[in-house]
Amino acid sequence: MAGRIAFLGPTGTYTEEAALLYNPQAELQPFPSIPAVGSAVSSGITEEGVVPIENSLEGSVTFTLDLLISQPGLSVCNEVVVPIEHYMFAMPSVKPANVKVIYSHPQALGQCKEYLERCFPEARQMASLSTVEAVSDMRLSNMPAACISPRRAGDLNPDVEIIGRGIQDNVNNVTRFVVLASQDHQPTGRDKTSVCFSFQKTDSSGLLHQALGEFAQREINLMKIESRPTKENLGEYIFLVDCAGHRQDAQVAAALDSLSARCRMLRVFGSYPVWAPNV
């Protein structure tokens, strides 16, 4: 594994948690944006980078998809799946009944909406740049305040107190992160492959059906399919697919070869092991 890993910061985020879960011995370096993480990997500042790509409630992270589409020198070499458990913190002098304002990233506030309406119906909800920055915003507030942050943010700020645990409304809230590198992973026998492709024109009937049929006729399971605008012309799209198997597997390789003949562009983001926490 890499000695230096970039991650979407700041320190204390769920992305750092994913990076620690992936390689607890690595030297972790926070970067302020997903493109910055990609640049750190492509320029050799770090060997690998960890960024979020998909949340079970909010869907795909478009910044990461666009990075992979636009940067052919980056590959996906692994994935990490992290359960998202939100905590509420306050300073020791602030009692829950006195909280007037609650800070967090808008996604975290939305994921705790029912809890906040039930337990803090009178408190104002204020957006922070991240769930980690919410701790600083809470400290600077001129009103009794609380914040919603990861457990690690509390570990890094021992002067704050936990006043709520597991406050997310949906217990199935998980985020999938990908590990970026200069090349993907060797076959393990439990792999998936991520690709994107686009057509010369998208107004002909059956194009997508025929493309996906290359996987179906070889009995290759498609784990995800979605689209992103090409950013060239309205109504033109790039299709993104995750399929079971490694690009070096005979059936997957044959499907990709046939798919390439049908497409204007085909890019393999990488093949990598399906996340297994205890492996």
Q: Give average pLDDT by consecutive 10-residue segment, the chain, 279 residues.
A: 87 92 95 95 96 90 94 95 95 95 93 94 94 93 95 89 94 93 96 94 77 94 94 87 97 96 93 85
Identify whether residues 208 and 225 lie together within a single domain: yes
Domain boundary residue among 135, 164, 193?
164
Identify whether residues 149 and 11 lie together within a single domain: no
Identify whether residues 199 and 268 lie together within a single domain: yes
Identify whether residues 23 and 70 lie together within a single domain: yes
Identify whether residues 49 and 178 lie together within a single domain: yes
The count of structural domains within the chain is 3
Identify whether residues 14 and 68 lie together within a single domain: yes
Alpha-carbon dihedral sign for residues 220, 221, 224, 225: positive
CATH of the domain at 34: 3.40.190.10
Cβ neighbour number for residue 44 with a 10 Å cutoff = 9
Q: What is the pLDDT of residue 202?
A: 57
Q: What is the pLDDT of residue 31?
A: 95
Identify whether residues 218 and 208 lie together within a single domain: yes
Q: What is the pLDDT of residue 236?
A: 85
Angle at 204 between CA 201 and CA 209, to 5 degrees: 100
3-state class of 251 per DSSP? helix
Q: What is the pLDDT of residue 1?
A: 61
Identify whether residues 224 and 135 lie together within a single domain: no
> Which contacts (CB < 8 Å, 24+ apart) does range 58-64 have?
58/107, 60/226, 61/34, 62/228, 63/33, 63/34, 63/35, 64/34, 64/178
Identify whether residues 57 and 145 lie together within a single domain: no
Identify whether residues 103 and 47 lie together within a single domain: no
Angle at 14 between CA 57 and CA 145, to 5 degrees: 90
Identify whether residues 148 and 100 lie together within a single domain: yes
Q: Would you say 215 and 254 are in contact if contact means Cβ atoms under 8 Å apart?
A: no
Boundaries of domain holding 248: 185-279
Identify whether residues 227 and 275 lie together within a single domain: yes
> What does the DSSP assignment read for 183-210?
S-PPP-SSEEEEEEEE-S-S-STTHHHH
